[in-house]
Chains A and B, each alone.
Chain A
Amino acid sequence: MEAQQLTTLTGVIDKKMNRQLKQYMDICARCAICKDACHQYVGTGDFTYLPARRAELIRQIYKKYFDKAGRFVPALYEARDPDENLLDELYESTYACTGCRRCMYYCPFSIDTAWILSVAKAILIAAGRGNEMLGQLADAAIFKGDNAAMFEGVMLSGFEDISEEVRAITGNPEHQVHVNKEGADILYVALAGAHSIRPAAVIFEEAGESWTISMFEAANYGYFYGDAEKARLITKRYIDEAKRLGVKEIVVPECGHAYRVAEIFYEAWSGEPMPFKVSHILEKVDEYIKAGRITVDRDKIDGTVTYHDPCQIGRNGGVFDAPRDIVRAVTSRFVELTPNREQQWCCGGGGGIVAMEEFKDVRLKSGGKKVEQLKASGASVLACPCENCRLQIEELNEVHGLGLEVWQVIDLVVAAMPFKATPEADAATM
């Protein structure tokens, strides 16, 4: 490795390593409790995906350049240069990680491997080895934000199509997707697909909510890629939009990382407080049901229903009860997966891995625990408020012949709401 590149990479480590991360470098006891907590290691048995091993690669570079003992006697302290072999290994172990932080939950020292891997991603990007697909998705999102006028026409046309679908579902000719509505209470920042807008619009309109939709989306591939500046830019677009429209609250859709980005990471990336209250859409829907602002009929949903806690919403976001209360409101046949809540197994689809074809085999193998849970539950319907989780579980469903129906929670809610519309229109919600 050339001296200049080495200086760049060690500079990245020096800049990223705060006191907490340095402590992580020192305290891992190699107890390997994390091996039984990681769905990828359990599913593959491959050392590359052992959480402690993932972190160890960073620790080895750190020891070589920032630890006296490692610097002078590298062989004794397992200190290594960030050579091509190490970077190859680092790429595989880092971008395969779904960032579920189940290893941290079980670690006796609460070592946050996902945080350590944010350093690994910064190193890989500095070495020109960032994941190409995630980088492209992040750049495309930034391009859309920088050239919003270019896409305004197709987006407005799409919103109008969705408005017609909403009116067909609810039977109310006044209902619509509100766009650029100044002074609305809520800015709903959806995903790019109509599926995250249509049911939300039905619920907001039926609840009589004062809302408007964002021209920008909540998904943030800059975060998965590991580039904090790109991630900040993608988030800042809708923060600026919220300021311009004068809303009081930002509501994010059924997407795991989008909630965590808005609620937790934006402040760290931008160095400024998040100027708005951030809610997950299921927190709003739960409020509407409990306040009687929307009505749901219990047991319109056929079958036994279970709920998967997406890691970024549950274990890492702290939202456990609102989704469960919603599901219980629409069915009396609710069963939990075991384990659940903070101990829930990752499905294997997080961290942007569903977009990275090179990790498909690892991804499907790492879903083994989720398949076991789903089979044991006896459920025929799965409610899951995260896009990446649904993509993964739908694929596991197909591969393992589980016979599950995989639903967004808000789609279950809309299916349980009584409308004036025709049965044909009801079918449009499915």
Chain B
Amino acid sequence: MSDDVKVDLELDLKGLLCPLPMVKVSQNITNVPVGGVIRAVATDPGAMADIPAWAQSTGNEVLSAEKEGAEFVFLVKRLK
């Protein structure tokens, strides 16, 4: 899916422990335009629940959340 989506901002969240990956995505969501996409790469498995939960509760959208080896890759779209 990531190949089809234009990414506006890359976030390297590797090594950060939860909830910091979610915090960093939240802090950066306004750095992309509405409709824009953040690609975030984390290594803490807790982010697999944290980032989608944050997106749902703030009205944004996780386009994909995939485990790639030891990394967790998220595409997060700003909806508002």
A-side interface residues toward B, CB under 8 Å? 133, 136-137, 139-144, 147, 150-151, 154-155, 157-158, 161-162, 191-195, 217, 219, 221, 354-355, 357, 387, 391
Tell me how far the C-beta of A115 lies from the nearest C-beta in chain B, rounded to whole angstroms.
Answer: 26
Residue in A140, A161, A162, A221 whose Cβ sees the most chain B Cβ within 10 Å? A140
User: How far does the alpha carbon of A59 sit from the alpha carbon of B17 in the complex, in Å?
Assistant: 39
The residue that B46 contacts in the complex, of A136, A157, A158, with Cβ under 8 A, is: A158
In Å, the complex CA distance between A355 and B23 comes to 7
Near A by CB (< 8 A), chain B positions 28-80 give: 44-50, 52-54, 56-58, 65, 67
Assuming the contacts A136-B58, A151-B53, asked whether A194 and B46 have C-beta atoms less than 8 A apart, the reply is yes
Least distance between B76 CB and chain A CB atoms (Å): 13
Q: Is B9 positioned at the interface, with any CB of A under 8 Å from its CB? A: no
Given contacts A136-B26, A357-B27, list 5 more A-B pairs with CB under 8 A: A137-B23, A144-B49, A157-B67, A194-B44, A355-B23
Bound CA–CA A227/B80 (angstroms): 25
CB distance from B40 to the nearest CB of A (A): 15
| In the complex with contacts A133-B26, A136-B58, A158-B46, A143-B53 CB distance below 8 A | yes
Tell me if A143 and B56 are in contact (CB < 8 A): yes
Cross-chain contact of B53 among A144, A354, A391 (Cβ < 8 A): A144
Interface centre among A143, A155, A162, A219 (most CB of B within 10 A): A143
Interface membership of B18, Cβ < 8 A: yes
Question: Is B49 in contact with A192, judged by CB distance below 8 angstroms?
Answer: yes
Q: Give the Cβ gap from A315 to chain B, nearest Cβ, in Å.
A: 24
Which of B23, B27, B44 is within 8 Å of A193, CB to CB? B44
30 A-B residue contacts at CB 8 Å?
A136-B26, A136-B57, A137-B19, A137-B54, A139-B57, A139-B58, A140-B56, A140-B58, A141-B53, A143-B56, A143-B57, A147-B56, A151-B48, A151-B52, A151-B53, A154-B48, A154-B49, A158-B48, A191-B18, A191-B46, A192-B46, A192-B49, A193-B17, A194-B45, A195-B17, A195-B44, A355-B20, A355-B23, A357-B27, A387-B17
Asked if B27 contacts A133 (CB within 8 A), the reply is yes
Which one of B23, B46, B58, B67 has the highest number of Cβ atoms from chain A below 10 Å of its Cβ?
B46
**What is the count of residue pairs linking A and B with beta-carbon distances less than 8 angstroms?**
79
B13 at the interface (CB under 8 A from A): no
Please measure, in the bound complex, the distance between the C-alpha atom of A154 and the C-alpha atom of B52, giving whole angstroms.
11
Chain B, Cβ-Cβ closest to A137: B19
How many angstroms from the CA of A192 to the CA of B67 in the assembled complex? 17
> Across the two chains, which residue of chain B brings its CB closest to A144?
B53
CB pair A158 B45 closer than 8 Å = yes
Chain A neighbourhood of B52, CB < 8 A = 150-151
Identify the interface centre among A155, A158, A162, A191: most chain B CB within 10 Å of its CB.
A158
Q: How far is the CA of A162 from the CA of B19 in the complex (A)?
A: 18
Please report the C-alpha to C-alpha distance between residue A191 and residue B21 in the assembled complex, in whole angstroms.
Answer: 14
| Chain B residues near A157 (CB-CB < 8 A) | 67
Whether B48 pairs with A140 at a CB distance below 8 angstroms is no
Q: Among B48, B53, B54, which residue has the most Cβ atoms of chain A within 10 A?
A: B53
Top 6 A-B pairs ranked by shortest CB distance?
Answer: A192-B46, A192-B18, A158-B45, A154-B48, A143-B57, A139-B57
Given A136-B58, A142-B57, A143-B57, residue A151 in contact with residue B49 (CB < 8 A)? yes
By beta carbon, the residue of chain A nearest B27 is: A357
Collect the chain A residues with CB atoms within 8 Å of residue B54's CB. Answer: 136-137, 140
Complex: chain B residue closest to A190, CB-CB: B46
Q: Which residues of A contact B20 (CB under 8 A)?
A: 354-355, 391
A197 vs chain B, min Cβ distance (A)? 9
Q: How far is the CB of A218 from chain B (nearest CB, A)?
A: 12
Counting chain A CB atoms within 10 Å of each CB, the highest count among B23, B49, B52, B54 belongs to B49
Task: Give chain A nearest CB distance to B68 CB in angstroms.
Answer: 14
Residue from the list A140, A161, A195, A355 in contact with B50, Cβ < 8 A: A140
B26 contacts A161, C-beta separation under 8 Å: no
- Which residues of chain A have C-beta atoms less than 8 A from B19's C-beta? 137, 140, 192, 219, 221, 355
- CA of A136 to CA of B30 in the docked complex: distance in angstroms? 14
- B residues near A221, Cβ cutoff 8 Å: 19
Tell me, rounded to whole Å, the shortest Cβ–Cβ distance linking A415 to chain B: 18
Q: Which of A133, A137, A142 has the most CB of B within 10 A?
A: A137
Q: Min CB distance, B57 to chain A, in Å?
A: 4
Alpha-carbon distance A133/B19, docked complex (angstroms): 11
A387: B residues at CB distance < 8 A: 17
